[in-house]
Amino acid sequence: MGGVGKTTLLKRIYKSLLDDANMGFNHVLFIEASKGIQLEELRKRISESLQLQRAGKEGIFNVLKISNFVLLLDNICEEVDLISLGIPHPYSDDNSTKQCYKHKVIFTTRSEDVCAKMGAGEKTIKVECLGSNDSWDLFRDNVNLDVIVSNEEFKKIARQVMGECSGLPLALKVIGKAMSNKKSIPEWNFVLRSLKSSSTRVVGMEESLFPILKFSYDNLPDNIRECFLFALMLRRISKYELSECWMGLGLIGDFVDLPEAFDKAEYILKILEESCLLYVSNDGRVHFHDVIHEMAKWIATDCGMNRNKWIVKDYHVSTEISTIDTENWRFAKLVIMGHIKLLPILSHRCSDLLCLFIKSSFDLQRIPEGFFLQMPNLIFLDLSLSDVKELPKDIKCLFNLQYLNVSSTAISSLPKELVYLNKLQYLLCGDTKLSKVKDGLLSRLHKLRVIDLHPTGWVEPKELQMLKKHNNIKAIGMRVVSQEVFQQLSYLPTTGLYIQKLDNLISLSYDTLSCKNHGFLQELTIDSCLQLKELVLNGSETHLNNLTISNVEKL
């Protein structure tokens, strides 16, 4: 079952194989295979682990057939065709893979049927929940041990709380962490009564755990609960992108500048990590246990009573959405859709809809005219990572919109109708085909806080002057096309600059590229500045992540 420790066990095996060179394996591959994942994505992950450039089936096969390897596949939900992945089969007719090399595959799954279909036969191990003594040891590792061993009454109640976790390691860790700040017997008694009464509400092996695990969610401060739910719905997102979303949704609260906002987001992530509700990997991506994800969906739908409140659907392959598919949108507050090819014109009003994410829809080229007419209360719209070429005129009907993200799309201009979005605070157009933005468009949006036009979009110096007068711009990124633009940007908090063909630029100092009090320059590109001789990266607080210099011969 979920949360019993399959992944933990597989990671222990992975680490022991890496640590023990005597095992003699050339490649030890750990691959996460989440629900609905396609063979192509699995091949991509295997290629990356083998440090191959997007190798196909044959490329993977040619490397592994002459190697000793172990492939660890975690959390497969259905049969995986290993041959189609490029994994040499030890019992194939190909003599080159017989006897000479050690080829091993270990996988975890929740399904005995998958074990049978994969041909695991008798080589299966059912991972059981912990016995009483092991449960107590794990629970004690996660609570405030000094409290529960202070007297026998405390220890007795703590053992009863532990018992409600039914030996499931995930529940023991999550509840243990949630109880670590409870220091009185009445508090522990209250929690015990809550867990006992809630555990009877839901039937089913894993579903029955949701009310137990929900205690950890209930233990969070109100604003962090919302942050947790949105993070879960957005899955497989970087902590930087997640922080941006939290800002756009107003969950971070007010902030003086972008560094302060990111610090707040980091603080929230730390609390959620310490509660064992998520973890951030070394590459900065946010991860969740499957059972925690399912629990969050259950909470978001009013404990399963209102399943259309939050709609999350990733089709994995490009799909045309029909009007029937959007029927439930009329009851939804949040809709997240992935891999959409075509959108319908909605035939019904979606008055409750506040947040709409249409992400990773690389074949979606247009938003139909009239699509936005039916969602008057929308505050958050994310169309990033699609092939949308323009925004329809009816976007002006989104009077309440506060966040608009069209990053990494094919958009080349912003419609003049955006001036009607009086509440817009975040306008993210990074990595698009934008050039000059219409004069007067941005300066008429008086509530704008974050503007990202980087690297191709830009505005005239006069527009920048007017934006500066608003006094609430927290971040701006854009192309620098003239010395005048350069000069005006030095008074604004810049996050990304693309400086190109400034012939009079001889010396450039980092601390002049953003206003000194609130600067947060993260990305700097200098291209074809033929007279530039000196670049000084000074400044006590440097947040620069990417620096690209090209065609600067005199530097």
pLDDT tens-digit readout, 427-457:
999 999 999 999 999 999 999 999 999 999 9
Report residue 213's pLDDT band, with 50, 70 and 90 as the boundaries.
confident
First to last CA, the chain: 61
DSSP-assigned states of every residue in 18-56: HH-GGG--SEEEEEE--TT--HHHHHHHHHHHTT-SS--
- The 8-class DSSP code of residue 458 comes to B
Q: How far is CA 543 from the centre of its chain?
A: 22
Report residue 193's pLDDT band, with 50, 70 and 90 as the boundaries.
confident
Confirm if 480 and 458 have CB atoms less than 8 A apart.
yes
User: CA nearest 227: which of 255, 263, 269, 261?
Assistant: 269
Q: What is the mean pLDDT of residues 474-481?
A: 93
Please determine, for residue 511, whether its predicted confidence score (pLDDT) is greater than 90: no
390 vs 406: CA distance, rounded Å? 10
Angle at 37 between CA 35 and CA 39, to 5 degrees: 140
Number of helical H runs and strand E runs in the chain: 17, 18
What's the chain's average pLDDT? 87
Phi, psi of 277 (to 5 degrees): -95, -15
Which residues are registered as beta bridge partners of 173?
Answer: none
Q: What is the mean pLDDT of residues 103-111?
A: 91
517 vs 519: CA distance, rounded Å? 6
Describe the strand order of the beta sheet including 380-382 as a list of residue ranges. Answer: 310-320, 334-342, 355-359, 380-382, 403-405, 426-428, 450-452, 475-480, 494-500, 523-527, 546-550
Q: What is the mean pLDDT of residues 392-419?
A: 96
181 vs 175: CA distance, rounded Å? 11
Please determine, for residue 97, whether its predicted confidence score (pLDDT) is greater than 60: no
pLDDT value of residue 90: 63
Q: What is the mean pLDDT of residues 255-261?
A: 87
C-alpha distance from residue 133 to each of 137, 192, 213, 286 (Å): 6, 20, 21, 32
Confirm if 60 and 102 have CB atoms less than 8 A apart.
no
